[in-house]
Structure 1
Amino acid sequence: MPVDPAKLAKLQQASATKIGGTRRAAKKVVKNVEQDDTKLQAALKKMNAEKFDGVEEANFFREDGKVLHFNRVGVQGSVQDNTFVFTGIAQEKEITQLIPNILPQLGAENLEILRKLAEDIQARGGLNAATATAAASGEDIPNLVEGETFEDDVE
């Protein structure tokens, strides 16, 4: 059956300028956090995961030098399956914000990041010359004794 080109052009033009009609609305997917938690808890129950008490915080060190910090954390795990779950609200922080508290947690790769950070601070002049020379010579800061001043020790 031959197609009339004029009729075909007229149909194409009509479909291009068509206004209205029905359109299906996209279904909005709502994620339920509680549902995810129940699935997670069911999976942990199958593995006989135990809850670890006494964990106050957790820090995960990233390769870019940032730290994923959990202030209040819940830890569950299965040692035989080598699976651990950390639950809580994580904050991404710079390693400099957490330095005094996390020194015992640092591994060899993170100590390298710390060394680079210290070099950057020294290059920017962050440490004054007196502090740098005192630290290099290993001089101790004298203890305060009642009735004495620092000026007495200097002379």
Structure 2
Amino acid sequence: MPIDQEKLAKLQKAGPRKVGGARVKAKKVKSETDDVKLMETLGKFKAIKVENVEEANFFKDDGKVLHFPRVGVQAASASNTFAFSGYPQEKDITQLIPNILPHLGSENLDVLRKLAEQIQAGKAPTELNAGAGAAEEDIPDLVAGEKFDDVE
């Protein structure tokens, strides 16, 4: 079998740089199956996108707030389902008070007063929820196999 000397010289010259054939990069596989399933489920509920929602806040029991600065909201009012999508930031309630005050209704004035008193006294806002534990003492424990009415 005859060898082409020119081709051999080129291969020897490029030898340390080129090994094997042409390199084909593997495609990156993105896992978007959860998002697709979520969108399909929301489609079954006939959820529609709610426009003009700039931000959303979810208040947790420990005094922290999940703050969504840019949020997508989809609502299916027939099935009482709402979906919030975005990247949440966990913040202290004291950081968000100036932005939240215009949005709170009259039912939250007592909570705001207690929070203001605690901040002035130098207590942590997480101690605000300590009084909620006493109200939960009335709730009976459920045992498997028993009816709710029978539990005391």
Scaled by the length of structure 2, the TM-score of the pair is 0.55
Structure 1 residue 35: deviation in Å?
0.8
C-alpha distance in structure 1 between counterparts of 2:91 and 2:109, whole Å: 17
Give matches, 1:4-153, under 5 Å.
32=31, 34-106=32-104, 111-124=109-122
Given residue 98 of structure 1, which amino acid in structure 2 is its aligned partner? L
- Structure possessing the higher radius of gyration over alpha carbons: 1
What are structure 1's unaligned runs of at least 5 residues?
A: 1-30, 125-155
C-alpha distance in structure 2 between counterparts of 1:65 and 1:76, whole Å: 26
Given residue 78 of structure 1, which amino acid in structure 2 is its aligned partner? A
Given residue 89 of structure 2, which amino acid in structure 1 is its aligned partner? Q
Given residue 75 of structure 2, which amino acid in structure 1 is its aligned partner? G
What are structure 2's unaligned runs of at least 5 residues?
A: 1-29, 123-152
Aligned length: 94
Alignment deviations for residues 64-100 of structure 1 (CA, whole Å, 9 cap, x no partner) = 2211100000011101110010000001111110111
RMSD: 2.4
Aligned to 2:134: none
The 3-state SS of whatever aligns with 1:80 is helix
Q: Is the Cα–Cα contact under 8 Å of residues 58 and 71 in structure 1 kept in the other structure?
A: yes
The 3-state SS of whatever aligns with 1:56 is coil
Scaled by the length of structure 1, the TM-score of the pair is 0.54
